[in-house]
Structures are given as C-alpha cells and as structure tokens.
Structure 1
Amino acid sequence: MISRRQFVIGMLSAPFLYGTLRLTHLLHAPRPVLHLTIMGASSCMGYVKAVLPKWEQGHNSVHVAISGGGSYAGLKALAHGQVELAIADVIPPPGYIVVPLRRYPLGRIPIVIAAHPGVGITRVSWRQARQLFQGIIRNWRQIGGPDIPVVVVSRPLSSGARDVVQTRLLGESEFSPHAIIQLSNGAVAKTVRETPGAIGYVEAVMPLGNLHIMCLGHHCYQRNDPGQWVLFAEPAIFIREDAEALVVDLAEYLAQDPRRPAFGIYPEPAQGGRG
C-alpha cells in the first residue's frame, strides 16, 4: 500500500520528473530539417551539385534540393514562392516578375556552335549560322559541305541559352519550325553527336569531345582562353528581396565559390565582337 506521505510526494514531484524527461527528449531528439530548393538553368547544376555539400556540412539541419527546368521556369517558381533560389542566365523581362529580387552574378558561360563531326565544315559566318538555325540552309552542300540535310537542334523557350542565341545571333529571325527541341544542355550535345547533319548550341560547361565545335566568323572557341569567345550566357543566382538570412547566405556562397571556372563559369568578362 502507498502511504499518504508517499502519495503527496509523488504528486509534488511528478511535474519535475515530467519536465526532466521532456528536456531530455528535446536534447536528444533529431533537429528538424529545413528544406530549400534551387531551380533553373541546367548548365549551372553541375557546379551547384559539386560545391553544395561543403555548405550543407556547415548547416547540418538544412537539406537543399536541386532541379533544372530552365532559367524562365526557375524565375517563375521563385516569384510564386515555390523555390527559394533560382538560377537564370537571363534578366527577367519587364513585367515577368512582379516581386522584388536580388541578383548575385556567377560569371559568364561560353555558348558554342556544335555540329555532328560528319559535316566537315570548321567555320561558318554569322550570316551562315543564322540561316542554318533558321532552316534557310537545308543541306550542308549549300555551304561547301557534304550532301547531308541540316538538322537543327535547339532548347525550349524556357532556356536562357536559347534566349542568348536568339538575341545575339538570330535577332528578329526565328528558329527553324522543324528544329528538334531538347530540354537540357546534355540532351542537345547527345542529339548533335548522334545525328548526322545536326547543328546546335551548347554551353561549354561539359567535355566537348566528339562534338564538332565550329568557328563563328573570325572567332574560334578555345577552352584555355574562353574570354575571347563571342557568345556567352551570364548566369546569376536570384532570390526574393525579403528572403531569410539562411537563403542569403547560400546565395552568397554559390556566387563566391572559387571553383566556378572548373565548371565552365568564368568570372572575367568575355571579349570580342561580331565578325
């Protein structure tokens, strides 16, 4: 039998024991994981995946998910509050984003003209390049190549790389309506490499072996001297102006990591003009 004295002591000590057990549970319980999401330009995702683990090591309660989808898709998701960071190599056009944003430049990525090795042509003029992508030149023999139909490979409208080529190469002209559309940089490279007569454009953030990189006008892309190339994207990290400190910290880390050139993102401005 429990004596009255024992009962009273038990009642008085119960809150203390409960509090002690609760504190012990909180101290040993796993910390809640915060989730952040980065979405946007596929050309930068290799860099982000490579450098992100170091940041996460210093923020062990944070998990960062990464998704491609293209520059415009990332910006739209950021504006709608679906992601915390967007990577885009375009400046949002007026009216596209209605919320205030902060921009953290990453550098510049060369965009090269790539063709199937079988086309045999090493150089095209700016006019020839435009007409190839427009579909006006339909056979490589029209510009001194073999008798092979031209197959245009391009990116979707959500791609910043397409926006650069459209603006700086095609101008008011449009891509061929028969162009094969691929969603990623890697998919364009694979399609061009495996399709006789194909021509496309890729951001030079990957090994370019087995791709026939063409000179454009008087300019030829050189991996060891990317600054002299003439077509380039300018990727940046975008966050909302009212982003919390953790998001700002991640954006600053990605924008300042010195390993960017190893992934084809060069901090020095590219030089050169149209030929």
Structure 2
Amino acid sequence: MPLTTEASTGAPVGVPVGLPVGVLEIGGSHVTAARVRQSDWSVEIVARSSLDPHAPADQLVADLAAAGRAVLTDGLRLAMPGPFDYTAGVAWYQGVQKFDALYGVDLRARLAEALDLPGTALRFVNDAEAFAVGEWTAGTTRGRTSCVGVTLGTGVGSAFLREGKAIRAGSDVPPNGELFRVTPPIEDHMSHRAIVAAYERATGEELPGVREIAERAESGQRQAIDVLNTAFIALAEALSPWLKSFGAEAVVLGGAISGAFDLTRPAFEAALGIPIPITVTANTEHSAIVGAAR
C-alpha cells in the first residue's frame, strides 16, 4: 500500500493512503479517542472517557492504553498538555493540579509496552499546537501564512504557526512559542483559578467556575464583567507585542474560557491595539484531534 507524504497530500508522513489516523486528545480530566481520515480531515469520535488527574501512574497509563486500543491503526498520535517532553515522550507534570503521578514517567515506553508497539509508533504533540494546526487545516485560520492559536483553561496554551508549522524559536515568538513563559506571568490573571479567585475577592462569593461568572456577566453584573475584562485585557497586553513581531494575520481562541470572549471583545481589542481578526473556535477538541493527526 503506498504511503502518503506531507508534500504530496498534506497527510501524516508514513500513514498508508486511506487508513484513518488514530488520535488521543488528552485533557486534565478526560481522554477522547478518535479516528481521522486524512483525505478530508473528517473526525470520528470513538470514545470519551474520564481521567482522574490524581490517579497513580499505573492507572493513568492503563486508562490511556485502553483508550488507544479503540483507535489503533499503524500507531497513535497523542495531543498532550504540558509540561511534557514531546520528543522523548516523558511527562514532567508537577504542581499543575493534574497528573503529578506521571512526573518523570517515560510515557512512550510505558504505552508502547502496553499496546505492543514500537516506541516510534507513538507521536506526542503539544495540545495547544495541535489545536492551532487543526484550525489552520480545517478551521477559522485555514491557509493563513502566519497565525496564532491560544487555548484558555486551567492555563494558557499557545502556538505560533507559519505555513502550518509551529515556530518555537526566534526573537519574534515567546520562549518555545509559549505565552505562559513571558513575564509578568499571564496565568496570574488569565486562568480558571485566577478568574475564580478574582471574582471571589470582588464579591465575597465563591463560584465553581468561569462559566458561572460569565452567566453573571451576561445578566449585567458589574463585578463579573470587570473580572472577565481584567483577565482578557491581561491576555491582550501579553499577546500584542508577539503578534506584531511575528506578523500574525489572525488569532483563534479555544479552550473552556474562550466561550466568554464575546462578553469582553471590546475591552480585549482595545487593549490589543492591532486590527487583526480574532475568532473563537467552534470546537477546541475537534481542532486538536485534526491537528494531532496532521
């Protein structure tokens, strides 16, 4: 069976033509197993499973292996949150409220053994990069020469793309292409924990998440509007100089907190100070799956 190449079809290198690509999209509390057809980048969700972010390493490996078996073809692509060594396949989670038990674990070796595969059959990719590449492949930034994807949730993920390739080095991007590494720390303002804490300070009321705060903002509550504006203004101020230096043509937002963007768009765009298209993805998970396959 002939093999595709990125140059000939845009499909993943080494994947037989017509064979779906098996993908795991992994978040802080879930794993989604999917198959992607490279001919049209259509996605079939096979299974969604819960992950206990505080489970021991053996349980997490077993849960990921079980999800992987459902979509295994010639190998498996895994979209993982950081901190993670994507080349070596080693997890470095520590103090990030998820997967601490995987700290220092060679996930490539453990999963390869569990799935009876060579380690080279497992490819790991940063989840924010996967999202950005998925949007460039089949989403709102499709075909842009230079674009930026930003995911907003437990933290801030980012990827700076040129011609669909992640740029991680150079003076025109943040260190490793990751906005959360810049100073002052953006996640002190733009993250689930920061927004919830800011709302509690403003009102004395503790709400479970950003969705509930956004609902208060939609109803016109001033404190909720101010809290969200503050978070998105901080994001705009951190992002603006990098968009300028990178020459970005468009930005796409994803992640759970991106759903609140329309409530704060005027404040965000004023702080950004750049006339650049800002869109919100229709489906973060779908885009990350497509990007991991690509």
TM-score of the two chains, using structure 1 as the length reference? 0.32
TM-score of the two chains, using structure 2 as the length reference? 0.31
Higher RCO (CA 8 Å, separation ≥ 6 residues)? 1
**Bigger share in helix:** 2
User: Which structure would you say has the larger Rg?
Assistant: 1
